[in-house]
Amino acid sequence: MRTASASAIFPSSGTGSIHRTSHPPRTSRVTLSAPGRTRGRSASRCTGSPWTRAGPCSSSRASGRRDYGTDSRPAHIREVVDNSLRHLGVEIIDLLYQHRVDPNVPIEDVAGTVRDLIAAGKVKHFGLSEAGPNTLRRAHAVQPVTALQTEFSLFEREAEALFPTLDELDVGFVAYSPLGRGFLTGAAKPAREYGPGDIRSSDPRWQPGNFEKNLAATGQLRALAAEKGVTAAQLALAWLLAQGPRIVPIPGSRSPVRVEENVGAADLSLTAEDLARIKDILPTGGFGARYASGVPTWD
């Protein structure tokens, strides 16, 4: 058995949902996303991905598979962990996330289950995704939470409301979709140019009306990046890193070259003037909601 760094999420399919490349807070600044995850939804294999437009991952009863929804019942968490350990071929999961809060299972029960898994040596750290301050506090009281993962980027600022609680509890923040699902890299095309299975075909930020405004803003960001001799992706990631020491962006890419490029953002320091210019370009985030429907709400 290997002891490679690994993270896993639940709820998920019964096979367990795994990330071979982990993103432990404050030690790693980049993670790889599985091929196709940004491009579209994991329709054939429910990976715990949020790509289903109706909300968190669910598999179809019509297909004869179990419907997992947000199932965070203790027995299901234990099942996912055992399966993830087996599929990853590791002895311990470094960071185990609850992918979406389950309205039917008290968070204390979830945290207690993870606490037991930590005591059993199967898991090192506990993470939450798209959880609000109250949920975070209640979970943290049972089992300290190491990382909260939520969307945060130049386009998406709502997560800033969580930062005081994260500071108070000393919880790391993992910023997902830090490149605005690729828009902030300057590679966006109009929604109609993406296939129907591609999330960007329905993403509000790609829709007519919003798209043009977002394109104009990213054009200005690209110009600033060019002045500094960096790429737009690096500028967007450096901006995130400048928002506080507990922030760990996890850009997704299928390209090793882009991964290298993105890691380079860690060496880029933005000046107060750079930050002021970026604030002028996008004072409160991008145009359009972050999901077409099922935008996570927090408590």
Ligand X SMILES: NC(=O)c1ccc[n+]([C@@H]2O[C@H](COP(=O)([O-])OP(=O)(O)OC[C@H]3O[C@@H](n4cnc5c(N)ncnc54)[C@H](OP(=O)(O)O)[C@@H]3O)[C@@H](O)[C@H]2O)c1
Task: Identify which range of 131-139, 217-225, 246-254, 270-278 contacts ligand X by CB under 6 A.
Answer: 246-254
| Contact residue for ligand X among 81, 179, 265, 278 (CB under 6 A) | 179
Whole-angstrom Cα distance, residue 241 to residue 231?
A: 15
B/e letters for 197-222, b = 16+ CB within 10 Å, e = fewer, are ebbbbebbbbbeebbeebbebbeebb
Q: Quick check: 25 binds ligand X (CB under 6 A)? A: no
> Which residue carries 């009281």 as its tokens?
141
Q: Quick check: 178 binds ligand X (CB under 6 A)? A: yes
Give the residue closest to ligand X by C-beta: 252
3-state secondary structure 121-163: CCEEEEEEECCCHHHHHHHHHHCCCCEEEEECCCCCCHHHHHH
Q: Quick check: 285 binds ligand X (CB under 6 A)? A: no
| Contact residue for ligand X among 13, 17, 38, 146 (CB under 6 A) | 38
Q: Quick check: 233 binds ligand X (CB under 6 A)? A: yes
Between 189 and 279, CB nearer to ligand X: 189
Between 64 and 210, CB nearer to ligand X: 210
Q: Quick check: 250 binds ligand X (CB under 6 A)? A: yes
Minimum CB distance to ligand X, residue 38 (Å): 4
Between 12 and 31, CB nearer to ligand X: 31
Q: Quick check: 129 binds ligand X (CB under 6 A)? A: yes
Whole-angstrom Cα distance, residue 209 to residue 178?
A: 22
User: Which of 56, 224, 100 shows the shortest CA–CA distance to 154?
Assistant: 224
Whole-angstrom Cα distance, residue 197 to residue 187?
A: 18
Contact set with ligand X (CB under 6 A): 31, 33, 37-38, 50, 129-130, 149, 176-182, 185, 187, 233, 250-255, 258, 261-262
